[in-house]
Chain A
């Protein structure tokens, strides 16, 4: 089945620095979504980006489908960005998402 690897496992930044998160997956993907998971556990969809480059606010995602990888760039990090970032891959007709283990981001003031 689909396997999703995220790196780094954790990242510590000073406020204002940029973050680069990576997601690699093992099989063809029909969907790729980046989520933010709050310390309380709830998930917020950040970007849906199965191919190409997408921007929203301070976030940019680039997915290279042929190479089975995606990145999430967070510019000018803020303390409120702290949390876990999850990459999820969809590869079946019924829209099953396979999640990575996540990158834990800590932004200090």
Chain B
């Protein structure tokens, strides 16, 4: 069975500090991977997607970057956090060539 693990579960970070959020998918090779973000009280929106190792496409510009260093790993990062980065970050995956998307449990980020 496929499992998706996100870390950390929650973070409180200062404005201007760096950030790294991670996601690992086990049990499925070469999945499509996605990062989504939801501001408090807001609508979920896709930030990045990746169909293969080393290849990441940006969907929304939020002064964040993403990387896929391994087939089963997706990293979201920034050098300098803004207050507007606060919210809920969700990693997701889908089978190559199929449409149904599955989500991790998310990371709640508070920037102070």
**Residues of A bordering B, CB below 8 Å:** 30-31, 33, 35, 41-45, 48, 50, 86, 88, 90, 94-97, 99-102
Contact = CB atoms under 8 A, between A and B. Distances in A.
Contact of B99 (A43, A48, A99, A100): A48
What DSSP secondary structure best describes chain B's contact surface?
Answer: strand
Contacts of A102: 43
Contact of B106 (A33, A41, A48, A96): A41
A44 B90 CA distance: 12
Which of B34, B45, B103 gathers most chain A CB within 10 Å? B103
Nearest to A100: B43
Chain A contact residues, majority secondary structure? strand
Given A94-B57, A96-B46, A99-B45, A45 B94 contact: no
12 contacts: A31-B101, A33-B100, A35-B103, A41-B106, A42-B105, A48-B100, A50-B99, A88-B101, A94-B49, A95-B34, A97-B101, A99-B44
A97 B90 CA distance: 13
Contacts of A99: 43-45
Interface of B: 32, 34, 36, 38, 43-46, 49, 51, 57, 59, 88, 90, 94, 99-106, 108
A64 to B, nearest CB: 18
B100 A43 contact: no
A102 B90 CA distance: 17
A48 B44 CA distance: 18
B9 to A, nearest CB: 10
Contacts of B32: 94-95
A86 B36 CA distance: 14
A30 B99 CA distance: 8
Given A41-B88, A41-B106, A95-B49, A33 B43 contact: no
B99 A101 contact: no
Contacts of A30: 99
Given A95-B49, A96-B59, A86 B99 contact: no
